[in-house]
Every structure is written in C-alpha cells, then in structure tokens.
Amino acid sequence: MKALEKLSVFAGNTFAYWVLLFAGLALLFPGGFTWIGPHISLLLGIIMFGMGMTLSGGDFKEVFSHPKKVLIGVLAQFLIMPFTAFGLAYALNLPPEIAVGVILVGACPGGTSSNVMTFLARGNTALSVTITSCSTLLAPLLTPAITLMLASKWLPVSAGDMFVSVIKIVLLPIVLGLIVKTLFKKQVEKSVKALPLVSVIGIVAIVAAVVSGNKEKILESGLLILAVVILHNALGYALGFFAAKVLKMNYPDQKAVAIEVGMQNSGLATALATAHFSPLAAVPGAIFSVWHNVSGSLLANYWGKKAEKEEQQQEKSDKIMEA
C-alpha cells in the first residue's frame, strides 16, 4: 500500500506532464485511444466517486465560520468564467461548436486539482476545498442553467437533459462515495491516499480520448482553441484575484479564489459536450485540462516561492530585532 501511495503522490506532482504526454501520443497514434471515447462519463463518475470518499464535514466548516468568503468564491466561480467565456466567444466570432465548448468550460465548477495548487501556492487551502465542494454540489442546477442562458445563442441547449447528466456524472457518484466512506470508514481511510492516482489516470484518459477522436479538427482549429483557452484561463486567475482583493479578502484568500476561478472541472465540460453537442465542442474542455494544470503549477510555484522568500525575510527581521 505504501508503494501505491508513493506512486499516487508522484502522479499528482507530475500531473501536468502526464496530460501533455498522453495528449501528444493521442495526436500521433489516435487509434490507440479512440476506444476510450464511449467511457468518458464513466471515468468522470469514478473521479467524482473518489471525491465523495474524501469529503467530510470539516470540508464545509468554512461555510459556517466564514460564509462571506465562501459566497464570494462560489459567485466568482459561476459569474467570472461563464461570462468571460461568452465575451471571448462573441468578440472572437468563434465557430458555434467551439463557442459552446468554451462556455461549457466556464459554466462548470472548480477542478479538484485547484486544492493542491492552492496548497502549493501557500493560499487558504481550507477555503479552496470548501469552494470546490460547494460549486460541485451546485453544478447540477447552475451548469445547465448558465449554459442555456449563454450558449443557446450558438446552438440549441437542453438544460433538462444536461441536468440529468450532471446528476448522474457528478452528484450520484459523490453521494455514493460518501455512503461508502460512512459504511467502510477504516478501509476508505487506508485507501484514500491512492485516490489522486485514480484521478490522474481518469483525466489523462479523458483528454487522450477527446484528442484522439478529434485529431483532424484539432490540427485545423487547435491554435485558435489553445489561444482562447489560455486567455480564458489567465483572465479567470486575474479577475478572481482582483475580485477577492476589491472585496478586501486577505492575501492567502485572494490566491485561493484566483486559483478556484481559473481552474475548472474541464473533464465535466468534456463529458457534457460529448454527450449533448459534438466531438468538436469537447475539444476546448480537453485542451483546458492540459493547459490549466500547466498554468496552475506555474502560478502555484511562483506564489509558493514568493511566500518562502517573505518568510525568510521576516525571520531575518525578527532575529535582528531580538539582537
């Protein structure tokens, strides 16, 4: 079990590299990954089941102890990213399927890897976990509603069908995970450290499936989609940080909100796009999965090193004062 835990930690720390590697392999050898396509929803369900097994009452303490902070984070999540996506799609005159795919990414809750990035950035990890949990539980209602409101300009949207899909893919697996954790607490506690490995394998497989199934379209429109994804992600970080700063949250909270807003559950966007729109609409979600893990790691590394330098300077100042 310890070997599996070590492998899980290694996979989590090198997540971005694995996503990049298998996205590249899927472009070079698409035939080796297309078989995964029909199982995208199942893979995401397994990831959400794992998330359910890691949740506890403590993850929601911030809701009661700092409700304003959580509310700001959740509102920022469901306002900044969807409307930024809509603005980019409209301003850049994106093709309908790509526009819907970008909006879907924006309308999804925060990604689970945001919690790890917040921790590495020396942000408020407890706040990050709570915002992710709350936004994920609200997703069955808000993701279809926001998609209907913003994406129906380009393609017909069935909010009812999407609601059912999100319930099946997200809410039910999380509830099952919580039930399993309650019934088999000791066994779950022993195995929970291996769950990051499951999440890494699941997201990598989803990205590889979408990339392999859309090779020609990615080669044709990939640069445009990549540019939009990078801009969408960067604006999410910047506007999330700015919103938290304007609302007078402290620096660790600002970092948590920025990362929560910028990093999306793009696996869910990919699954919903595949099920309700078209393979091309799933491409923004797949590329976002690759990019936000790269950008999140870079941002977390920058903030983490900055925090270390500040701590070292503070220690030197304290020693001088003591002397």
pLDDT tens profile 56-113: 666 566 667 778 888 999 999 999 999 999 999 999 999 999 999 999 999 998 877 7
Q: Which CATH number fits domain 2-13+38-306: 3.30.565.10, 2.20.25.90, 1.20.1530.20, 3.40.50.2000?
A: 1.20.1530.20
Q: What pLDDT band is residue 320 in, cutting at 50, 70 and 90?
A: low
Closest C-alpha among 139, 176, 130 to residue 271: 139
pLDDT tens profile 96-108: 999 999 999 999 9
pLDDT tens profile 252-267: 899 999 999 998 888 8
Owner of token pair 């088999």: 184
Q: Is 110 helix (H, G, I), strand (E, B) or coil?
A: strand
Contact 89, 215 (CB under 8 A): no
Q: Which two tokens stand for residue 315?
A: 């220690």
Mean pLDDT over the full length of the chain = 82
Task: List the chain domain ranges.
Answer: 2-13+38-306
CA 285 to chain centre: 10
Contact 296, 114 (CB under 8 A): yes
Q: Is 122 left (phi over 0), alpha (psi -120 to 50) or beta?
A: left
- The per-residue DSSP string of 131-194 comes to HHHHHHHHHHHHHHHHHHHHHTTTS---HHHHHHHHIIIIIHHHHHHHHHHHHTHHHHHHHGGG
Burial class (CB within 10 angstroms; exposed 0-12, middle 13-18, buried 19+) of 219: exposed
